[in-house]
């Protein structure tokens, strides 16, 4: 990173905008920054860090007190280039701040931007304080602390660094690299990890305790028990399947039997509805007869209504004609009156109109003149108001100018006494800084003193704890010895061998599995025998049904042959009768002399005669019925054949199943015999019912042995756990004793370090107090610098506010003068306009009065428009009355003629309606007699709606269909039952047997499901235990590592080690740089006491202490150390910093030392580094070719200014 330009305005003593061109200064690689103390040399570095990071390191709270006292706004901008040559980029950071109105010494961030400067223009990369700082840190790769320590090399501190003791140098490394904070954070992190691992171990141990003890042997026993239950389940399933087949057969018969009974009950219920059915059919017949008469009844009703309407219409027409005839006479008289009034009044109103029309224009002109006069008066009133307003405002303006002039003189006098000299201001600011540093030092001394007291108390507490832990460790060792002696005696009283117990338990387990297998085989053999019995019964039933089917088939074949013979006979007879009928039809169409279409003869002596058509239709119906019976018989025979085929197929399947089952039974018997042979010899004479009892006796004997061994193992385990606990306690006590010893040593070391730091802090506090008192005495202050600074700030604030008020008053006075002149001009103009309007008003009033007098003489004071409208209205009224009377008369005459025609037509319609009514009545009476209705009332009672008739038809048809359907269903069920019945007790028995079989299946399924669930849970728990045991081993290892790290991080040993490593790295780098600066003559090393020594290769490698170095040699060594430190800090960044500022810190240089300094800096410049030397010494200023000269702020109020010198 290389600086290019920095711009400053309003920062510290830089009041006006100043720019520093680093590109020009760094052209020679070395430049100097010169100026007297307090001129603002360090402010240039403050501007760079403020632009990059928004903070000033030496300012309170990073930004407090950085704003120039005479400015309310601060701006900085820093331009820099970064990156390798092939990818070098340039950026500019801009920040602005404004004064906080509530706290004058604080600022508030304003505009903040990071801009990339490219060939194509500027690109804003970030906007806002936080985002800009984050992006700057990303680009440079350094925080503000690292950047400041890398750029500004504290040369004076490293001169002292050479002479410090080893412990003091280590503390300095800790401070520079913030290692104490790093060590504290690392300790906290290790402590947190240690606590987390301990909690995790406790959690895993708790889970293992909850899971209990699950072994592989337990899982194997569960698997064997599950296999036994599976064998039992298969036997139960075989038995249940046989029962289910029997149940299905009996249930089908029982269902058919129940259905038959239901159908017969429904048939009986149906017959009880027969009388209601006949009644519904009679009602339907009467309703259909009434429906045939309905049109005649409706015609008679329509004719009666039409006759009544005709009479009412005739009466109404006669009344209307008489009323209109009277009205016609009245309208004729009104027409004559309107004609007379029109002839007499029209000439008079026309003459009045002719006199009034010329006066309309005169009236309009008069009104326009009145409007002009009103506008002129209003304008004249406005001008008068303006004149009065301007006169009032002029008086107020003169008074305002006088008041403001007095305020201006008073403020000028006040400002003269508020000015503070710049030199006094700078010295007060220095005093404030010293006072703050002194307060901080005093706080540090108090903090260190309190820390020393706490550390001493901790040391005493640790010593007391160490003594107590050592006593407890001795007690644990004594208890461990006693317990090991007791356990050795317990081991000699062991009741038996666990291996023999395991073998005996395995033998009994095998024997129990044999008994379970024998029990399952017995059940399976019994179930197989039951199934064989059922198959024998079903085979006999199949044989019986086949024999019955063969008998029924022979009977149906005989009946079918008889029906077929009868059908052929009747079909031949029907064909003969149909031929005769056809001949009769042909003969009926023959006429004498007409040739026959069959034989061609023209004579027909014996024409054929056919049968009655009804008889022929009966023969066809009888033949169709016979064919239907024959088809039904054939279908029944086919169904019987299919059923017999099904019985034969099922019989063959059952016979095959019977053979397989017998083979299976034989194999089961052989297996049972084989298993029985494997039982103990002592059981041979015992019945099988006693075998479980003998097995239980063996189990109880084995259980007693197991309990004795378990009790011994339990006691032995308790002793083992107690011994393990004591051993763990011993290890823990030993670890605690060692840890407390280490902590006690660390505490003592820390106490020594605190004593040294407290002495240093007290010395520094005394020096600051002396410097502070000297400066206060020089200024003659009775109070503190903070109070004086606050007084100056208050004066500055009051001065600034006064200047602002003075500027405001001057502006207001200028505006008031301009406004006064403008008001005077406007007043003169308004007065002239008012005078002109006054003459115009008087002329217009005179003309208006003359016109009004002329018009009043003609109209008598009434408006012309109203008089003219009255004349036009009177003429229109006369014309309208005459026209309306004539129109009404003509309309009445036409209406009278129309009413006469209407009366004649109504008379004709009434006569026609009466004739139609007589005809309809005669037709209705004829139809009532024809359909059997004795009266119109009987006909009306028989009437039903269409929906009611349809409902009656549907009910009758549904009753007949239901009867047929019930008969067919009963016949079908009887055919399916085929004489078979199921008694209720047989049905109840098969249900009970089926329920027992289902319960057995559910029981064994539940037991197997429970075993499977238990096995799955146990297996999962077994796997979880194994996994948690693995996790515990891993966690215990990590916990041990964390404990060891915690022990190592106790006290400051680790931080001191890191600081020494930093020091060794810096020493190695500094030695190399020192060789380069001295052409290989000097090396920097540490002796056996860890003190710095110089190896002088120019003097045979002579080693000598740094205290023997000359001023120039000390500068070279200090410079090498400073450069090495800067390089070490820059390791955090992405790109190296190509510049640094060097504060030489040696005071006045003699000529020889000056040559050494410049020669060393020249060598660094050749390494492509830009070096800025900050100094106030004129000797260095005269020897550096490019210089940045800073002129301090003057008493005239101007701020610090910069300029570049060459030479």
Token duo for residue 345: 């009044």
CA-to-CA separations, 256 to 266, 308, 442, in angstroms, rounded: 15, 72, 113
CA-to-CA separations, 979 to 539, 545, 556, 634, in angstroms, rounded: 19, 11, 17, 21
Q: How far apart are CA 994 and CA 988, in angstroms?
A: 10
| Total number of residues shown for the chain | 1207
Task: Give the Cβ contact number of residue 213 at 10 Å.
Answer: 9
Q: How far apart are CA 491 and CA 812, in angstroms?
A: 115
Q: Which residues contact 648 (CB under 8 A, 6 or more apart)?
A: 542, 546
Q: How far apart are CA 249 and CA 242, in angstroms?
A: 11
CA-to-CA separations, 264 to 253, 273, 965, in angstroms, rounded: 17, 15, 12
What letter would DSSP give residue 1193?
P
* Dihedral angle over CA of 1126, 1129, 1134, 1136, nearest 10: 0
CB neighbour burial string for 1089-1120, b if at least 16 within 10 angstroms, e if fewer: eebbbbbbeeeeeeeeebeebebbbbbbbbbb
For 736-767, give the secondary structure using H, E and C. Answer: HHHHHHHHHHHHHHHHHHHHHHHHHHHHHHHH
Q: How far apart are CA 142 and CA 140, in angstroms?
A: 6
> Three-state SS for 1137?
coil
For 1143-1184, give the secondary structure using H, E and C. Answer: ECCCCCCCHHHHHHHHHHHHHHHCCCCEEEEEECCHHHHHHC
Cα angle, residue 816 at apex, residues 814 and 818 outer, rounded to 5°: 70
Task: Give the Cβ contact number of residue 12 at 10 Å.
Answer: 25
Half-sphere exposure of 742 (CA within 13 A, CB side): 15
Q: How far apart are CA 400 and CA 509, in angstroms?
A: 123
> Kind of pairing, strands 1201-1206 and 18-21?
unpaired
Q: How far apart are CA 652 and CA 660, in angstroms?
A: 13
CA-to-CA separations, 554 to 266, 437, 979, in angstroms, rounded: 35, 135, 18
Q: Which residues contact 788 (CB under 8 A, 6 or more apart)?
A: 428, 431, 779, 781
Q: Which secondary structure element, helix H or strand E, spans residue 731, and what is its range?
A: helix 691-779
> Kind of pairing, strands 73-82 and 2-9?
antiparallel
For 516-551, give the secondary structure using H, E and C. Answer: HHHHHHHHHHHHHHHHHHHHHHHHHHHHHHHHHHHH
Phi, psi of 1143 (to 5 degrees): -100, 105
Q: How far apart are CA 338 and CA 886, in angstroms?
A: 9
Assigned fold of 2-162+1144-1206: Rossmann fold (3.40.50)
Would you put residue 62 in left (φ > 0), alpha (ψ -120 to 50) or beta? Answer: left
CATH of domain 290-356+869-937: 1.10.287
Q: How far apart are CA 834 and CA 830, in angstroms?
A: 6
Give 231: exposed, middle or buried? Use CB within 10 Å, 0-12, 13-18, 19+.
Answer: middle
Q: Answer whether 731's CB lies under 8 Å from 418's CB.
A: no
Token duo for residue 890: 């003509």
Taking CB atoms within 8 Å and a gap of at least 24, the contacts of 691-700 are: 691/515, 691/518, 692/515, 695/508, 695/511, 695/512, 695/515, 698/508, 698/511, 699/508
Q: Which secondary structure element, helix H or strand E, spans residue 4, and what is its range?
A: strand 2-9
Task: Give the Cβ contact number of residue 52 at 10 Å.
Answer: 25
> Kind of pairing, strands 152-154 and 1082-1086?
unpaired
What letter would DSSP give residue 1197?
S
Cα angle, residue 509 at apex, residues 506 and 511 outer, rounded to 5°: 110
Q: How far apart are CA 998 and CA 1074, in angstroms?
A: 102
Q: Which residues contact 868 (CB under 8 A, 6 or more apart)?
A: 353, 356, 357, 360
> Kind of pairing, strands 1082-1086 and 1092-1096?
antiparallel
Q: How far apart are CA 1170 and CA 745, in angstroms?
A: 48
Token duo for residue 811: 């502006």
Q: How far apart are CA 453 and CA 1048, in angstroms?
A: 25
Q: What's the pLDDT at 615?
A: 74
> Three-state SS for 671?
helix
Token duo for residue 847: 């003309």
Q: Which residues contact 768 (CB under 8 A, 6 or more apart)?
A: 434, 437, 438, 441
Q: Answer whether 518's CB lies under 8 Å from 668's CB.
A: no
Alpha-carbon Rg for the chain, nearest whole angstrom, is: 68
For 839-899, give the secondary structure using H, E and C. Answer: HHHHHHHHHHHHHHHHHHHHHCCCCHHHHHHHHHHHHHHHHHHHHHHHHHHHHHHHHHHHH
Q: How far apart are CA 663 and CA 751, in angstroms?
A: 99
> Three-state SS for 5?
strand
CB neighbour burial string for 751-780, b if at least 16 within 10 angstroms, e if fewer: bebbeebbeebbebbeebeeebeebbeeee
> Kind of pairing, strands 30-34 and 1170-1175?
parallel
What ranges do the domains of the chain cover? Answer: 2-162+1144-1206, 183-272+986-1051, 290-356+869-937, 360-416+790-821+831-861
Q: How far apart are CA 103 and CA 111, in angstroms?
A: 20
Q: Answer whether 475's CB lies under 8 Å from 726's CB.
A: no
Question: Which residues of the chain are modeled with pLDDT < 50?
Answer: 1146, 1148
Q: How far apart are CA 852 and CA 372, in angstroms?
A: 15
Token duo for residue 185: 């954070």
Q: How far apart are CA 110 and CA 97, in angstroms?
A: 5
Q: Which secondary structure element, helix H or strand E, spans residue 79, and what is its range?
A: strand 73-82
CA-to-CA separations, 145 to 40, 332, 481, 943, in angstroms, rounded: 21, 125, 61, 116
């Amino acid at each position: 990173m290389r600086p290019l330009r920095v711009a400053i305005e309003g920062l510290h003593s830089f009041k006006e905008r100043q720019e520093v061109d680093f590109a020009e200064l760094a052209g020679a690689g070395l430049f100097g920054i010169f100026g007297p103390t307090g001129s603002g040399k360090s402010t240039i570095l403050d501007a760079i860090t403020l632009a990059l990071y928004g903070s000033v390191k030496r300012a309170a709270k990073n930004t407090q007190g950085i704003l120039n006292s005479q400015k309310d706004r601060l701006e900085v901008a820093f331009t820099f280039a970064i990156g390798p040559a092939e990818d070098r980029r340039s950026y500019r950071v801009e920040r602005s701040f404004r004064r906080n109105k509530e706290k004058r010494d604080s600022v508030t961030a304003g505009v903040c931007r990071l801009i990339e400067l490219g060939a194509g223009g500027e690109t804003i990369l970030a906007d806002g304080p936080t985002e800009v700082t984050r992006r700057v840190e990303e680009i440079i790769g350094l925080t503000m602390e690292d950047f400041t320590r890398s750029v500004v090399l504290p040369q004076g501190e490293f001169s002292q660094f050479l002479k410090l003791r080893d412990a003091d140098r280590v503390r300095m490394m800790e401070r520079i690299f913030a290692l104490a904070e790093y060590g504290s954070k690392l300790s906290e992190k290790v402590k947190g990890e240690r606590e987390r691992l301990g909690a995790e171990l406790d959690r895993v141990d708790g889970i293992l305790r909850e899971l209990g003890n699950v072994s592989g042997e337990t899982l194997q026993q569960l698997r064997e028990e599950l296999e036994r239950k599976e064998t039992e389940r298969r036997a139960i399933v075989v038995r249940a399947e046989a029962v289910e087949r029997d149940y299905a057969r009996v249930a089908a018969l029982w269902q058919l039997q129940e259905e038959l009974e239901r159908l017969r009950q429904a048939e009986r219920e149906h017959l009880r509805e027969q009388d209601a059915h006949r009644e519904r059919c009679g009602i339907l017949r009467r309703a259909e007869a009434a429906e045939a008469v309905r049109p005649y009844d409706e015609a008679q009703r329509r004719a009666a209504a039409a006759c009544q309407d005709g009479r009412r219409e005739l009466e109404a027409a006669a009344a209307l004609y008489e009323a209109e005839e009277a009205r016609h006479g009245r309208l004729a008289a009104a027409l004559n009156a309107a004609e007379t009034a029109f002839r007499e009044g029209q000439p008079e109103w026309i003459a009045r109109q002719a006199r009034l029309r010329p006066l309309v224009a005169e009236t309009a002109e008069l009104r326009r003149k009145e409007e002009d006069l009103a506008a002129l008066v209003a304008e004249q009133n406005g001008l008068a108001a303006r004149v009065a307003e301007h006169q009032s405002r002029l008086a107020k303006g003169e008074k305002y100018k006088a008041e403001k002039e007095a305020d201006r003189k008073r403020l000028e006098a006040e400002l003269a006494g508020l000015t503070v000299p710049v030199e006094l201001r700078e010295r007060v600011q220095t005093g404030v800084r010293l006072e703050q540093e002194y307060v901080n030092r005093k706080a540090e001394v108090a903090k260190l003193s309190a820390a020393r007291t706490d550390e001493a108390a901790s040391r005493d507490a640790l010593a007391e704890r160490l003594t107590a832990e050592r006593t407890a460790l001795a007690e644990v060792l004594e208890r461990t010895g006693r317990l090991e002696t007791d356990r050795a005696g317990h081991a000699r009283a062991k009741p038996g061998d666990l291996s023999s117990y395991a073998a005996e338990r395995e033998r009994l387990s095998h024997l129990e599995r044999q008994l379970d297998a024998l029990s399952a085989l017995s059940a399976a053999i019994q179930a197989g025998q039951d199934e064989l019995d059922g198959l024998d019964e079903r085979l006999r039933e199949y044989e019986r049904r086949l024999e019955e089917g063969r008998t029924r088939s022979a009977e149906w074949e005989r009946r079918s042959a008889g029906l077929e013979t009868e059908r052929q006979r009747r079909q031949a007879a029907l064909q003969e009768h149909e031929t005769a009928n056809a001949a009769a039809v042909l003969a009926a169409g023959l006429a004498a002399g007409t040739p026959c279409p069959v034989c061609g003869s023209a004579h027909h002596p014996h024409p054929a005669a056919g049968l009655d058509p009804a008889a022929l239709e009966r023969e066809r119906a009888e033949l169709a019925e016979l064919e239907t019976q024959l088809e039904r018989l054939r279908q029944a025979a086919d169904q019987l054949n299919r059923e017999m085929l099904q019985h034969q197929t099922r019989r063959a399947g059952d016979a095959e199943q019977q053979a397989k089952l017998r083979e299976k039974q034989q194999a089961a018997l052989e297996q049972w015999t084989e298993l029985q042979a494997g039982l103990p010899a002592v059981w041979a004479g015992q019945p099988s019912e006693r075998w479980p009892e003998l097995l239980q006796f063996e189990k109880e004997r084995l259980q007693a042995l197991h309990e004795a061994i378990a009790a011994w193992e339990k006691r032995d385990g308790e002793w083992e756990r107690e011994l393990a606990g004591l051993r763990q306690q011993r290890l823990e006590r030993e670890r605690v004793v060692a840890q407390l010893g280490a902590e006690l040593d660390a505490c003592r070391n820390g106490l020594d370090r605190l004593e040294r730091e407290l002495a240093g802090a007290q010395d520094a506090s005394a020096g600051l107090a002396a410097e502070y008192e000297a400066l206060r005495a020089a200024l003659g202050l009775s109070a503190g610098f903070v109070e004086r600074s606050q007084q100056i700030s208050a004066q500055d604030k009051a001065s600034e506010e006064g200047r602002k008020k003075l500027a405001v008053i001057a502006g207001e006075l200028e505006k008031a003068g301009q406004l006064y002149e403008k008001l005077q001009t406007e007043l003169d103009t308004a007065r002239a306009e008012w005078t002109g309007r006054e003459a115009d008003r008087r002329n217009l009033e005179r003309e208006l009065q003359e016109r009004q007098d002329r018009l009043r003489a003609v109209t008598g004071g009434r408006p012309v428009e109203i008089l003219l409208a009255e004349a036009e209205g009177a003429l229109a009224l006369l014309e309208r009355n005459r026209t309306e009377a004539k129109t009404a008369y003509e309309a009445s005459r036409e209406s009278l003629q129309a009413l006469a025609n209407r009366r004649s037509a109504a008379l004709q319609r009434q006569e026609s309606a009466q004739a139609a009514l007589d005809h309809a009545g005669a037709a209705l009476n004829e139809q009532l007699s024809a359909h059997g209705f004795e009266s119109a009332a009987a006909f009306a009672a028989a009437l039903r709606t269409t929906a009611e008739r349809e409902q009656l038809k549907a009910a009758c048809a549904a009753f007949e269909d239901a009867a047929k359907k019930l008969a067919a269903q009963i016949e079908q069920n009887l055919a399916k039952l085929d004489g078979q019945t199921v008694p209720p007790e047989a049905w109840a028995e098969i249900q009970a047997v089926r329920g027992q079989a289902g319960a057995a299946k559910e029981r064994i399924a539940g037991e197997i499901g429970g075993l499977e669930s238990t096995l799955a849970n146990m297996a999962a728990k077994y796997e979880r235990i194994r996994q948690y045991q693995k996790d515990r081993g891993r966690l215990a290892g990590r916990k041990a590592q964390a404990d060891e790290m915690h022990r190592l991080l106790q006290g400051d040993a680790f931080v001191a080690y890191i600081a020494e490593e930093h020091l060794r790295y810096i020493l190695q780098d500094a030695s190399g740089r020192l060789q380069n600066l001295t052409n290989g003559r000097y090396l920097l090393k540490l002796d056996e006491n860890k003190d710095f020594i110089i190896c002088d290769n120019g003097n045979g490698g002579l080693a000598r202490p740094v205290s023997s170095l000359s001023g120039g040699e000390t500068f070279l060594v200090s410079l090498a150390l400073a450069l090495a430190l800067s390089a070490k800090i820059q390791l955090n960044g992405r790109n190296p910093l190509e510049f640094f500022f060097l504060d030489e810190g040696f005071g006045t240089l003699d000529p020889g030392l000056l040559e050494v300094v410049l020669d060393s800096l020249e060598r660094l410049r050749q390494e492509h580094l830009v070096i800025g030397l900050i100094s106030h010494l004129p000797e260095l200023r005269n020897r550096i070719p490019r210089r940045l000269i800073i002129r301090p702020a003057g008493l005239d109020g101007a701020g610090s200014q910069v300029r570049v010198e060459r030479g």
